[in-house]
Structures are given as structure tokens and as C-alpha cells.
Amino acid sequence: MSVTLRAIEEGDLEIIMRWRMAEEITRYMNTNPKLTLEGQKKWLADIRENKDVRYWLIRVEGEPAGVINLTGLTKADGVLGWAYYVGEQRLRSIQTALALEMSMYDHALIELGKSAVISDVFSLNKGVIQLHRICGCEVVEEKKNHILKEGVYYDVTFMRMTAEHWKEIRGDKKYEKISFL
């Protein structure tokens, strides 16, 4: 398995738009957007200028597969948010998920020297919650009826990995290291 990351380019926007509007992706996200190519171009220009966020295109075996991002890069407290999805179903695997998550911890908590990484996950997304736990994340809080999306309330599980905890456990983890350029 070969997983690489690179900056998002304008030529990636149509496929990202397709992934981001796919029901299998949006069912676990806070919104079900109706995107346009012009809107995506504006989004790309905005994230290129925003020093607080960073987005990468995930490539598996050289093929575009999904998107991963970090937020809060300029926050003084050193706590980052993160999220990702693999939009190409045939390129999903537990090995890719583990490599992405644990390499992101290396990048954020060791290379960037941040204090913690947090995520919020729809509580019904049991597989991702379990994946985060396997990687060493702790559940910080569970909020009932936290997100209202299209008339339905969703519970949300908040999770965290601290730099201290990651440095303690990372030596025991086996994963393909991915470079966050």
C-alpha cells in the first residue's frame, strides 16, 4: 500500500465536490452541501490564503482517494482539529486509515509541536470511533442531540490525542508513515 499526500489543486475540485456530496460521506458530516465548481474554486482560494487550516489530497497507489485537513494551526493553545474522508470506496482500507491517523499525529504533535489533536465524530459512526480508540484516542465527551441536520438531531462524540500520550504510545504502533509536506 502506498499512501501519499499533496496540496489540493484546481484540477482536483470536481472529484472532491463529488466525494463531498456523496451520501455515504455526508451521512457522517455536519452538512449535506450542494456544491458548485465556482464555489469550490472560491473555497480553494480561501484555504490557500488561510494560515489557520491546511488541506491535502490523499492518494492511494497514485490515485486520488480523499481529503485530510488540520484546523487551528494559528491558535495559541496548540490544539488542532482534524478530519478526513476517503471518498473512493475501492481505495478504503484499515491500513490506510491507521496510516493516515497515526502519521497525522506524528506531524501535528511531533513535527509541529502542537499540544493536542481533537475530533468530533457522529456517535453512530462506531467504526471511526473504534479506529480512533485503536490509535490511542480518548473520548472526552459525548453530547446528545448536538447537531441538527435536515430535521434530525445527531449525538456527537468528542475525542482527543495529547502530545504527551502520543509520545508514550507511538513506539508500540505499527503503521506506514505518510509525509505531510
Distance CA 99, CA 176 (A): 5
Judged against a pLDDT cut of 90, whether residue 165 lies above it is answered with yes
pLDDT of residue 181: 79
pTM of the predicted model, to two decimals? Answer: 0.95
Q: What is the pLDDT of residues 116-146, one digit of tens each?
A: 999 999 999 999 999 999 999 999 999 999 9
**What phi-psi label fits residue 72: left (phi over 0), alpha (psi between -120 and 50 degrees) or beta?**
left
Distance CA 59, CA 65 (A): 5
Q: Cell 452538512, residue?
A: 31
Distance CA 162, CA 154 (A): 26
Give residue 137's Cα distance to chain centre. Answer: 14
Q: Where are the domains of the chain?
A: 3-172
CATH superfamily ID and name for 3-172:
Gcn5-related N-acetyltransferase (GNAT) (3.40.630.30)
Mean pLDDT of 23-34: 92
